[in-house]
Amino acid sequence: MKSESDIQAMVAFAVETYGGGYFAFNNAGIFSHEAELHDQTDDDWADVIAVNLTGVYRCMKHEIAAMLRGQLERGATFSIVNDASTVGHRGSISSGPAYTAAKHGAIGLTRQAAVTYVSNRIRINAVSPGPTYTDVTSGVRNLSGEEMVQALASLNPTAQLVKAEAVTETVAFLCSDAASMINGHAIPIDGGQLAKL
């Protein structure tokens, strides 16, 4: 994970380069099939929490500070979207305690900040993708079509992996004026996975 000074510099660079920090998507994260809680090492726990929760906190801290300065200067409106997960809404036997706790924490942080800064015209939401077509899911992608349907059907009623484009399109919507009344929510992008549980 980048240091706080690196994050501060990143936000400053974005504001200077693009003329203001109007939107932010906090999307960095790590995933591991960790040990069960009683076997979890403190180092593994700390690594996952540092990236998936503390990283979101530090990014938001400096993004919000920049947005508050921009709000004073230009009367603009702003939006932050955090990357959570469907496991931030439930328990999971496949993702491990630190990852699940971090994603619950990211949703809680999103909601807390959303109610704190809405009067400053900063909307804050999260997206909660289900199993997504990434390098992490490469083992699933190597299955035959029928095997993939069987592997995913118990998780996702559409029996498909979520495509990255579905996530980015939802993030773009949440940053747009069309989502001006959406604040403090974690939007599942999961083909109905959470609805099925």
Catalytic residue among 22, 99, 117, 133: 99
Cα separation, 90 vs 188, in Å, equals: 12
**Residues 6 or more apart from 68 whose CB is under 8 A from it?**
120, 122
**CA gap 120, 113 in Å, rounded:** 11
pLDDT of 1-40, one tens digit each? 558 899 999 999 988 898 777 999 999 888 766 678 888 8
18 a catalytic residue:
no
Instruction: Please tell me the CATH code under which domain 4-196 is placed.
Output: 3.40.50.720
Write the pLDDT tens digit of every residue in 56-104: 999 999 999 999 987 666 667 899 999 999 999 998 877 889 999 999 9
Put simply, whether the predicted model's pTM sits higher than 0.85 gets the answer yes
Tell me the HSE value of 127 on the side-chain side, using a 13 A CA sphere. 28
Average pLDDT, the chain: 87
